[in-house]
Amino acid sequence: MTNIATVVLDTLRYDNYNTHFDWISGKKFTEAYSTSHWTIPAHVSLYTGYYPSEIGIHGKSMTLDFDDEVLPELFESEGYTTRLLTANPQIHMWDGWKRGYEISVGPTNLDPSDDKLVDWNEFYSKQYDSTIKKYIQAVLYCIESDSPTIKSMIKGVKNNNQPANNGIESIIDRVRNIEFGHKEFLFLNIMDTHTPYNPPKEYTDVQTPVDIVAGDAFAGSVENPEEIRQVYDDSVRYLSDRYRELYNELRSDFDYIITLSDHGEMLGEHGMWNHSYGLYPELVHIPLVISGDDIKDGTDDTVVSILDVHKTICELAGIDAESRGQNLLGEFEPESRLFEYHGFLHWHQDQFERKGVDEEVYEKRDRALDGFVSPSSDYVYQTHDDGLRISGSVTPMEANDQLAKLIGSIDRKNIESKQEPSGVSDEVREQLEDLGYA
């Protein structure tokens, strides 16, 4: 039997990873790229092996309503125990994202000591009342559940009055408490390099937590760029130390560990911050390592995609699955890969208004963009201000032709909003604000 763990180090830039993760063993891909600039569309590709626009899931339509089986369902169908441990609420709170997981644990209950307590993320995702009734409903929810009422209520109050819990410490504790079997699929999402940047005090001299959102870039309100870059790197250094510990724990129970990021982060390049806007290489270039006892250490400079991770994971388990990906541990043909920007999330407009950004600035940049990376590492992407940007030897005419051909080769669903996420609770909105999405 084959045990496989997939670990997403959310928001980890390739260059910072390269500085601090030299200890990790396995086959390292130096030219790996995501299909988008943020969590939901990137994970859609990881779960399905297709581009986000083919599935029709993006920042304005976040329900995972893929018609075929997603990655955890494929493993579930083969008799695997499937587990999700995520510090990121985005792949836990919206409908469909827990499909195929026998066990799924979200941000509010990552600590093993919280197992018997109410899952407040679950409550808030379905509770929209913003009046005093909300608190009455919360109390009733605790009483009617099988959870300890008082301890659950105390946990709920703490969750509402502290910065986002990034969670690697809790994930390590939880993994140590699991008795893994011989047919396991484990998916982890770790948020310790995501805003708000909040490494332990012994790792940084910067006053934390530090928050930075896309609206700050367009408002010109970033006054401490060097501190922001420093605390981000401090967060990566902390993540590396803690992940080394987690990685060693996983190696004792799992035949293969796939370590990657879903996207990067802007740290002032092109005047941008956070990861809510654009297709800059700092956002799309990601780390990717496949580790296992039968995998030799080394690097591979071939251009690959997060789409290929889906196929590779399935091949490791002997699962036949349709996708656009290729098995990265077998013979594969390098090919050009798309990446997509679908506009802002609904809540970004409120963020921009709070920051004093003109509405026309938001509207101009709320339109879709595309880009691609070629087998020869030509990096091409559309912008709202400067047209097509090109890094490499390809000419503008060739770049436009290649991009048009790639777009024409896929069947895109309408990327306009399929569902207005109305009725989102205040608590969910606060979580989104904490993470820079609102």
Whichever domain contains 185, its CATH number is: 3.40.720.10
pLDDT digits (tens, 9 = 90+) for 225-274: 999 999 999 999 999 999 999 999 999 999 999 999 999 999 999 999 99
Calculate mean pLDDT across residues 128-148: 62
Domain contains 169? yes
**Parallel, antiparallel or unpaired: strands 285-286 and 27-33:** antiparallel
264 found inside a domain: yes
Nearest to 242 by CA among 168, 170, 164: 168
Is residue 155 pLDDT above 60, yes or no?
Answer: no
Q: Rounded to an integer, what distance in angstroms lies between the CA atom of residue 41 and that of residue 59?
A: 8
What pTM did the predictor assign? 0.89
Whether 117 maps to a domain, the answer reads no
The residue segments making up the domain with residue 212 are: 4-110+165-434
Q: Is residue 429 part of a domain?
A: yes
**What pLDDT is recorded for position 161?**
42
Q: How confident is the model at residue 133 (pLDDT cuts 50, 70, 90)?
A: low
The pLDDT, as a whole number, for residue 1 is 73
What's the whole-number mean pLDDT along residues 211-231? 96
DSSP 178-217: ----SSEEEEEEE-TTSSSB---GGG-SS-S-B---HHHH
What are the pLDDT digits (tens) for 113-132? 776 666 655 665 555 455 55
208 vs 211: CA distance, rounded Å: 9
Instruction: Give the pLDDT of residue 113.
Output: 79
The values of phi and psi at residue 326, to 5°, are -130, 155
| Count of structural domains within the chain | 1
> For position 154, what pLDDT does the model report?
53
Is residue 126 situated within a structural domain? no
Query: Is residue 19 in a domain?
Result: yes
List, for residues 409-425, the tens digit of each pLDDT value: 999 987 555 444 555 67
What's the Rg (C-alpha) of the chain?
Answer: 21
Cα distances (Å, whole numbers) of residue 323 to 165, 308, 353: 34, 9, 40
Please choose, from the candidates 26, 31, 28, 58, the residue with its C-alpha nearest in 3D space to the C-alpha of residue 42.
58
Residue 124 is predicted with a pLDDT of: 59
> pLDDT digits over 179-211, tens only?
999 999 999 999 999 999 999 999 999 999 999
25: number of CA atoms within 13 Å, CB side?
A: 12
Contact 285, 308 (CB under 8 A): no
User: Coil, strand, or helix at residue 293?
Assistant: coil
Q: Which tens digits make up the pLDDT trace of 292-328?
A: 999 999 999 999 999 999 999 999 999 999 999 999 9
Q: What pLDDT, on the 0 to 100 scale, is given for residue 60? A: 85
Q: Is 92 within the bounds of a domain?
A: yes
3-state SS class at 267 = strand
Residue 379 domain flag: yes
pLDDT for the residue numbered 59: 87
| pLDDT, tens digit (0-9, with 9 covering 90-100), for 368-393 | 999 999 999 999 999 999 999 999 99
